[in-house]
Structure 1
Amino acid sequence: AITIYDVNGTEVYSETVKGKDGVYEKEIDISNEQKGTYFLKISQGEKVSTKKIILD
């Protein structure tokens, strides 16, 4: 699953990805969101990775 949250924890984007093994590339347009800090959360089973995104 791919989820993007704003700094308040509000979900601004979510997608469930099924059947993808190996490298998966996805371009997500969040340019319509307000400037600020966002968090990209990628989860696959027990594995979770979170990255910070800054829109300015």
Structure 2
Amino acid sequence: MSTYISCKGGILMLIFRAWKTTKDGKRIYAKTYGLKAFPIWVDDDSKKESDKDAEKDKE
């Protein structure tokens, strides 16, 4: 399930993950906190950047 919200900079998307990785590289699992998943907001720009990287790889 994803939720989209339009904002000035683009579109924000809410995704759910069973774990999240901290800045030091450790994984935190939602099950440890009694949850099924963590909600994470992702902006549309991150998707565009990955698409640009894929195009560069093709060249």
* Larger RCO of the pair (alpha carbons < 8 Å, separation 6+): 1
The structure richer in strand per residue is: 1
* TM-score, length basis structure 2: 0.29
Q: Which has the larger Rg? A: 2
* TM-score, length basis structure 1: 0.30
The structure richer in helix per residue is: 2
